[in-house]
Amino acid sequence: MPRLVSHPDEVKIVSRRFGMGATDIDRYIELGGYEAARKCLAQGPDWIVEETKASGLRGRGGAGFSTGMKWSFVPKQSAKPKYILVNGDESEPGTCKDHLIFLHDPHAVIEGTIIAGLAVGAKMGFIYLRGEYRYLLEITERAVADAYDRGFLGKNIFGTETEFQIITQTGAGAYEVGEESALMESLEGKRGVPRIKPPFPAVVGLYGGPTVINNAETIATVPHIIYMGAQAYCDVGTPRNGGTRLFCISGHVERPGVYELPMGYNLRKMIYDVAGGIRGGRKLKAVVPGGSSTPVLLAEEIDIGMDFDQVGKAGSMLGSGGRGGDRRPDLHG
Ligand X SMILES: Cc1cc2nc3c(=O)[nH]c(=O)nc-3n(C[C@H](O)[C@H](O)[C@H](O)COP(=O)(O)O)c2cc1C
Contact residues for 330 (Cβ-Cβ < 8 A; gap 6+) = none
Site for ligand X in 37-66 (CB under 6 A): 59-63, 65
Q: Is 90 near ligand X (CB under 6 A)?
A: yes
Q: Is 224 near ligand X (CB under 6 A)?
A: no
Which of 213, 253, 278, 284 forms a contact with ligand X (CB under 6 A)? 213
Q: Is 218 near ligand X (CB under 6 A)?
A: yes
User: For residues 212-247, b (16+ Cβ closer than 10 Å) or e, as one string?
Assistant: bbbbbbbbbbbbbbbbbebeebbebbbeebbbbbbb
Which of 15, 170, 214, 266 forms a contact with ligand X (CB under 6 A)? 214
Kindly tell me which of 89 and 146 has the beta carbon lying closer to ligand X.
89
Q: Is 260 near ligand X (CB under 6 A)?
A: no
Q: Is 73 near ligand X (CB under 6 A)?
A: no
Kindly tell me which of 60 and 245 has the beta carbon lying closer to ligand X.
60
Tell me the C-alpha distance between 163 and 156, whole Å.
Answer: 5
User: For residues 48-70, b (16+ Cβ closer than 10 Å) or e, as one string?
Assistant: bbebbbbbbbbbbbbebebbbeb
Least Cβ distance, residue 65 to ligand X (angstroms): 5
Least Cβ distance, residue 62 to ligand X (angstroms): 4
Angle at 60 between CA 44 and CA 307, to 5 degrees: 115
Count of residues that bind ligand X according to CB under 6 A:
19
Only one of the segments 44-52, 208-216, 252-260, 298-306 lies at the binding site for ligand X (rule: CB under 6 A); that segment is: 208-216
Q: Is 91 near ligand X (CB under 6 A)?
A: yes
Which of 10, 51, 179, 326 forms a contact with ligand X (CB under 6 A)? 179
Q: Is 135 near ligand X (CB under 6 A)?
A: no
Decide if 85 contacts 126 (C-beta within 8 A).
yes
Closest CA to 179 of 192, 197, 198: 192
Kindly tell me which of 176 and 273 has the beta carbon lying closer to ligand X.
176
Tell me the C-alpha distance between 115 and 44, whole Å.
Answer: 10
Tell me the C-alpha distance between 116 and 40, whole Å.
Answer: 10
Contact residues for 331 (Cβ-Cβ < 8 A; gap 6+) = 285, 286
Which of 52, 215, 221, 244 forms a contact with ligand X (CB under 6 A)? 215
Tell me the C-alpha distance between 218 and 189, whole Å.
Answer: 25
Kindly tell me which of 133 and 265 has the beta carbon lying closer to ligand X.
133
Q: Is 245 near ligand X (CB under 6 A)?
A: no
Only one of the segments 14-22, 89-97, 105-113, 322-330 lies at the binding site for ligand X (rule: CB under 6 A); that segment is: 89-97
Only one of the segments 88-96, 232-240, 265-273, 274-282 lies at the binding site for ligand X (rule: CB under 6 A); that segment is: 88-96
Please report, as ranges, the residues that interact with ligand X according to CB under 6 A: 59-63, 65, 87, 89-92, 176, 178-180, 213-215, 218
